Structure 1
Amino acid sequence: MDKELNSTLDDIDNATDNTSEQQNTSNNWQRISPIALIYFVLMFIKNIFGNFIYVAPALLIGYNKIAEDPSFWLPFIYGLSALLGLASLLSYYFFQYRLTNQQIEIRSGVFAKKYVNLPFSRIQNVELTEPLYYRPFGYTCMQLDTAGSVKQEAKVVALKKSFAEQLKHEILAAHLVQSDKAESLTDDESVTNEAPVPNEDDETVLDRRNLDDLVIHGLTNNRVWIFLGGMAPFMDRISSTIGEWLMMFGINVNQYFEFEGRSGWQIASTVLSTFLIVMLIISIFSVLGSIIAFHDFKLSKIGDRYIRRSGLFTKTEVTMRLSRLQMIVRQQDWLDILLGRINLKFEQSNANFNNPNAGQLTNKIIVPSVTNKECQQLMLDAYPDNQLKNTKFKRVHPRLLIRNIFLFLLPITSVVAWVLIEHDKIEGLYYLGSGTAFIGFLMVMRYLRWGYAKDDNFIYVRQGVLGVDYLTFPIYKVQQTSFKQSWFLKRKQLCSIEFVLAAGAVNVPYLPQEDGLELINSSLYEVEESKRNWM
């Protein structure tokens, strides 16, 4: 098989044209295409503005100074542009890769040199990403992940799409053959027959998302408020600019917010209409974001691999092997519950989740806004034996709610109320009471959502506040357990437990000690008894 893979790579090399990213010989270091300069420039800009919370004050001050004297800041703008250009040129110059003996080697870095050597057989995931600026030229980014340390991931940022597709096929074929050999090998015999490689013609489409599905997803999973929070330092300037612009059309915004002499219903009407307009604008942006991210969404399956393709401007293809699936999350926000929609997440290893240089590789496949029937079909395809639909959950102990109310909510409310009374702000007590009642309601909902269950193959956890999430994971995927019991919990025969998987930790608080020990002991026994590989 090794000779065949070498021969195939040589065929790929001979089939590609004479661009820098395509191989003339598999033993020579190759440079990527100069189009990668665009990628490096945009990545540097993204890294700068990715730390928005740190640079926001400087940007705010700089914006005011620029408005006062634009010419004064031109040298800084030119200097920053030159720095970005130089950094991008150096990053391109020092980026090289080569293919040898069914492995890929990558050298990169200007001052901090980085060398990555990945055998094809260790690569778990291959992601192809086509940014908008690559698409007219037929280039793509290839991200490789081994599901191990964050140091074992690599990205080739500019490959011809045809070459990347063939290379991906060889990588997945090598990994499949290696896995089949490991599973089939015994003490007395070795595998001589090569495992068949799944053909792309065998790809089965499991799910597609239409435009109306993406619109619903944008409405129910509105995250634009995060962006608005980041824009808070600039809101005064933005509102002033908008007001001046509207004045050009004879619209005086300020007069709508002059409440002196107006009745209560007029003030309430103004506030309500303003709130609805703002929410409409936010919803439009959220829907656009959903369409951009999940346009032309398709979830397919070839053999034991899931393939997700989506994206309007940047097309992304993510491949995930079924054995690497750690947990399925069935997620519903409160509006999802009203509309009967579910967001389904296939969680993988999160080894690269906290790595700022991990590129675009995701640790999950998200299927947005599916119906209950579609959700059930997808879950059964991945975990045929799961019984989530018919599972009865046990609720955590009420002392969790009692602790939150009497240890946190009431003491803080009492202190704030005392401060208001001392400063003769009696009217503030009405707002304090409303806020306390709302927070108390959220605490009650949080308690009611908590639940847990177990069968012979899976552990199920329910959590949420207004919405509800259901977490399902096979018992043999558990890598570590934790039993937590404070002095207070021990007196009440209660405990909190934690299951650690490759996809992250799952916590269950304030359950009976007997249930906690049974869950942990039975899980560890299953892991030891089955001896199944979590990957």
Structure 2
Amino acid sequence: MRSPDWQRVSPLALIYFTLDLGRKIVDQGVNLLPVLLGIWAGGELVRHYAWHYGPPLALGGIALAVVLRYWFFRYRVDGDRIHLRSGVFKRKRLTLEFERVQQADVALPFYFRPFGLVSLGLESAGSGRQEVNIAGIPRRQAEDLRRRILARVQEPAAGSAGAGEGDGDYRLTLPLSEVLRYGLMHNGLLFLLPAVGPLSRYLETSLDWVAALYVAPLLGTAGDAVWVSALLMAGLVLGLLMLLSGLSIVAGLVRFHRYQLVRRGDGFQYRAGLGTIKSRGFRRYKLQQVTVTQGLMARLMKRFSLSVSKAGDHTATPSKAQQKFLVPVLTARTLAALSEQLQLPGPRWRSVNAVCVLGDTLVQGSFLALLIGTLLLIAGAVVWPALLVYPAVALVGLRRWQRLAYHRGDGWLALRTGFVGRKVQWLPEAKVQKVAVSRPPWLRSLGLCHLTVWGAAGRLTIPFLAEGEGARLSESLLESVTRYRGRWF
């Protein structure tokens, strides 16, 4: 039988290749610093030519690279495998068997949607990244190929739009109000605030100048202008917080707008997105780890987030972390319902030895006390207030110990951690890959140990267990693995 010919994607895929190349340039931007420093140090003539000819040459190079990447990109479906050719100077050829596919995603970017085109992403078992991404193919062709792949691996046969069609055995729909909460619960942009620190003195000088020039004449005294300057600084910080929160809310809305999750049999699938609509699915037997998180803001709003990890997810880069199966916002009631669908048991939490509070107090307290005492000594103040750090650290350690607990039973191993919020990691016993019991000398003298369990999506460490309990847990987990006869992924 004649093999099918190599196929080229739509010319509109040039948009995808442009955006993908731009993302890579941003990710690798630090590598351009030596070039920029060389131009800056090259003198006035070098800077002149770089300023006038550099931008058009760079844009021309990017355009040429995009066209070449599109021209040399080919794919071919041959029986139960897909072949991919790519690369310009370093040619690559990848063959992916359908039965190795762990996840098949169909994305509808806004720039493809008017033309009936989509992107098909395929991730193989054990991989922490998307190995195949075919952008700019007809939606019907992508749906047909996805159904063939999922039928081969016995996945649910729903298409990318199927998450919102049919009744299903279980359905979860997030209204707009819940999706907006996600941006407040996971506002990673707040980590940009420390970057404002080096600029604070310049801002303070500018605000003092504004207050003295415009406010002091109105108030009549310069002292009041100082207070106004402080209020302006506080308002600026508050405005920056509101801006970052707003951007985070918009990012969550773009990613999870009209979120719908459906379970059919043992297959789970969700569909969501504003500009680019994506669908993601998995079967229950492929589950490697379930993580439930609740940060400070989520606790104030009485909400949770749940993610399902597959093999290799712990090696994913931050940009690839979005490939996890994520339920962004859950109430206590919907979390309990979804946990039942995932067959998570009601946890019976067991605490670890309270000696961990003493260890944290001695180690962390001594470090902080030494640091604060040194600063006080340099400032010429009395040193004894540094000792007050010990009770503060002890209270923090006590709270962390109260949160630290583990569960073992009903085929699951779970670990709960946290301070203000909480994080619960669920690992199927049958998916355990490695178990280790460590006994440092100081723990051995107390009859304690640490138990570390590795899975395909990461590891769990249960600290400060009695040696007998650690040994029993280790042997029991290994027995569960040897008895398991089901599919692993």
Q: Assess if the C-alpha contact under 8 Å between 1:353 and 1:363 holds in 2.
A: no
Match of 2:370 in 1: 414
Structure 2 gap segments, 5+ residues each: none
Structure 1 gap segments, 5+ residues each: 1-5, 7-24, 178-195
Distance in 2 between residues matched to 1:151 and 1:331, nearest whole Å: 23
CA 49–119 in structure 1, closer or farther in 2 if over 3 Å, else same: same
Distance in 2 between residues matched to 1:330 and 1:253, nearest whole Å: 51
Q: Determine which of 106, 124, 135 is the counterpart of 1:128.
A: 106
Following superposition, the deviation at residue 348 of structure 1 comes to 1.7
Match of 1:36 in 2: 13
Match of 2:65 in 1: 87
For the pair 1:404 / 2:360, whether they are aligned, the reply is yes
**1:418 partner letter:** T
Following superposition, the deviation at residue 341 of structure 1 comes to 0.9
Distance in 2 between residues matched to 1:39 and 1:504, nearest whole Å: 32
Following superposition, the deviation at residue 413 of structure 1 comes to 2.4
Match of 2:467 in 1: 513
Distance in 2 between residues matched to 1:435 and 1:272, nearest whole Å: 29
Equivalent residue runs for 1:51-200 within 5 Å = 51=28, 73-149=51-127, 153-176=131-154
Q: What secondary structure is seen at the aligned counterpart in 2 of 1:39? A: helix
Distance in 2 between residues matched to 1:424 and 1:131, nearest whole Å: 59
Q: Normalising by structure 2, report the TM-score.
A: 0.84
For the pair 1:374 / 2:334, whether they are aligned, the reply is yes
**2:421 partner letter:** G
Distance in 2 between residues matched to 1:480 and 1:156, nearest whole Å: 36
Distance in 2 between residues matched to 1:503 and 1:436, nearest whole Å: 37
CA 235–275 in structure 1, closer or farther in 2 if over 3 Å, else same: closer
Q: Which moved more, 1:147-156 or 1:407-416?
A: 147-156
**1:343 partner letter:** S
Q: Determine which of 354, 377, 386 is the counterpart of 2:345.
A: 386
Following superposition, the deviation at residue 297 of structure 1 comes to 0.8
Q: What secondary structure is seen at the aligned counterpart in 2 of 1:168? A: helix
Q: Determine which of 280, 284, 287 is the counterpart of 2:246.
A: 284
Q: Determine which of 181, 186, 200 is the counterpart of 1:216.
A: 181
Distance in 1 between residues matched to 2:48 and 2:265, nearest whole Å: 60
Distance in 2 between residues matched to 1:28 and 1:352, nearest whole Å: 37
Match of 2:414 in 1: 460
Following superposition, the deviation at residue 367 of structure 1 comes to 1.0
Match of 1:315 in 2: 277
Distance in 2 between residues matched to 1:452 and 1:473, nearest whole Å: 11
**1:127 partner letter:** D
Q: Assess if the C-alpha contact under 8 Å between 1:450 and 1:463 holds in 2.
A: yes
Q: Which moved more, 1:71-80 or 1:402-411?
A: 71-80
Equivalent residue runs for 1:354-365 within 5 Å = 354=316, 362-365=322-325
Following superposition, the deviation at residue 411 of structure 1 comes to 3.0
CA 84–329 in structure 1, closer or farther in 2 if over 3 Å, else same: same
**2:99 partner letter:** S
Q: What secondary structure is seen at the aligned counterpart in 2 of 1:106? A: strand
Q: Assess if the C-alpha contact under 8 Å between 2:85 and 2:94 holds in 1.
A: yes
Q: Which moved more, 1:456-465 or 1:270-279?
A: 270-279
Q: What secondary structure is seen at the aligned counterpart in 1 of 2:450? A: strand
**1:50 partner letter:** D
Following superposition, the deviation at residue 532 of structure 1 comes to 2.8
Following superposition, the deviation at residue 172 of structure 1 comes to 0.9
Distance in 1 between residues matched to 2:245 and 2:201, nearest whole Å: 23
Following superposition, the deviation at residue 221 of structure 1 comes to 2.0
CA 303–59 in structure 1, closer or farther in 2 if over 3 Å, else same: farther
Percent of aligned pairs sharing the same letter: 25
**1:371 partner letter:** T
Q: Determine which of 385, 399, 405 is the counterpart of 1:445.
A: 399
Q: Determine which of 441, 453, 476 is the counterpart of 1:522.
A: 476
Q: Which moved more, 1:262-271 or 1:344-353?
A: 262-271
Distance in 1 between residues matched to 2:329 and 2:257, nearest whole Å: 13
CA 444–306 in structure 1, closer or farther in 2 if over 3 Å, else same: same
Q: Assess if the C-alpha contact under 8 Å between 1:132 and 1:313 holds in 2.
A: yes
Distance in 2 between residues matched to 1:92 and 1:319, nearest whole Å: 29
For the pair 1:346 / 2:308, whether they are aligned, the reply is yes
Following superposition, the deviation at residue 440 of structure 1 comes to 5.7
Q: Assess if the C-alpha contact under 8 Å between 2:76 and 2:82 holds in 1.
A: yes
Q: Which moved more, 1:47-56 or 1:273-282?
A: 47-56
Distance in 1 between residues matched to 2:355 and 2:322, nearest whole Å: 38
Q: What secondary structure is seen at the aligned counterpart in 1 of 2:463? A: strand
Q: What secondary structure is seen at the aligned counterpart in 1 of 2:410? A: coil
**1:122 partner letter:** R
For the pair 1:395 / 2:355, whether they are aligned, the reply is no
1:397-440, Cα deviation, whole Å (9 max, x unpaired): 2222222221233234224422431x33539998x789887666
Q: What secondary structure is seen at the aligned counterpart in 2 of 1:505? A: strand
Q: What secondary structure is seen at the aligned counterpart in 1 of 2:379? A: coil
Following superposition, the deviation at residue 152 of structure 1 comes to 8.6
Q: What secondary structure is seen at the aligned counterpart in 1 of 2:487? A: coil
Q: Assess if the C-alpha contact under 8 Å between 2:107 and 2:119 holds in 1.
A: yes
Q: Assess if the C-alpha contact under 8 Å between 2:352 and 2:464 holds in 1.
A: yes
Q: What secondary structure is seen at the aligned counterpart in 2 of 1:508? A: strand
1:210-238, Cα deviation, whole Å (9 max, x unpaired): 11102222222221123455x65995899
Distance in 2 between residues matched to 1:439 and 1:35, nearest whole Å: 58
